[in-house]
Amino acid sequence: MPGQRSITEAEKLVEEKLGGIRVRREQMAVVANMHRAAAAVRQHLENSVLREAELTWTAFVVLWVVWIWGASETRRVAEEAGISKGTLTGVARTLQTRGLVRRSGHPTDGRLAVLSLTEEGETLMRRLFPEFNEEEAWVVGQLSDEECRRTADVLRRVVLQVEAHGEERRLALLDGAAPAPRRSGRRPRS
């Protein structure tokens, strides 16, 4: 995806299209670039460091979470990894069959399941993470440490905004109307 330059070009075209309606250029550019960058980085890492280990991005993130935080309830892992519980079930199963992760029931609370790394998983992460981190450093290689800090901070504020007020905002936008059903997914039994 080139057309990086195109974002500025696009703004003009949008304004033409809308005939005078104000476009929030800067805001549009941040959001667009955020997604381009995230996708590019993810793809690069999947096709380099993660490929040799036969891991997808998500699988790696899950491993990483369990590695860093130690044995954790699946609910927490999903939250921390930024995926839904349902997705985690599948990913965890894959990792389990590959012998990288262990799934055990909680001793006292029968509802909970706990994930932890196997010895093999531990070894893999010890080897893989430095490579991964090295590559993270490479993709942002054009930025100074200070720029990294500032950018990380800015992005954090975006996340906070959405997480803290997103729900409320969505309700306000609906203005009492029933939320439209999702287009895909399991249908009501009715």
Nearer to DNA, 150 or 169 (CB): 169
Amino acid at 54: E
Alpha-carbon torsion, ordered 144, 145, 149, 152, to 10 deg: 70
Cβ-contact 108, 79 below 8 angstroms: no
97 binds DNA (CB under 7 A): no
Of these partners, DNA, a second copy, none, which one is at the site of residue 113 (CB under 5 to 8 Å by kind)?
DNA
State which of positions 120-179 bind DNA (CB under 7 A).
none
Residue of 4, 13, 57, 138 that binds DNA (CB under 7 A): 57
Token pair, residue 75, equals 């609910």
Of these partners, a second copy, DNA, none, which one is at the site of residue 29 (CB under 5 to 8 Å by kind)?
a second copy
| Closest CA relative to residue 46, chosen from 139, 162, 144 | 139
What is the spatial order of strands in the sheet that 113-117 belongs to? 72-73, 113-117, 101-105
Nearer to a second copy, 106 or 127 (CB): 127
Nearer to a second copy, 108 or 144 (CB): 144
Stretch that binds a second copy, among 36-44, 85-93, 101-109, 110-118 (CB under 8 A): 36-44
Token pair, residue 171, equals 């309700």
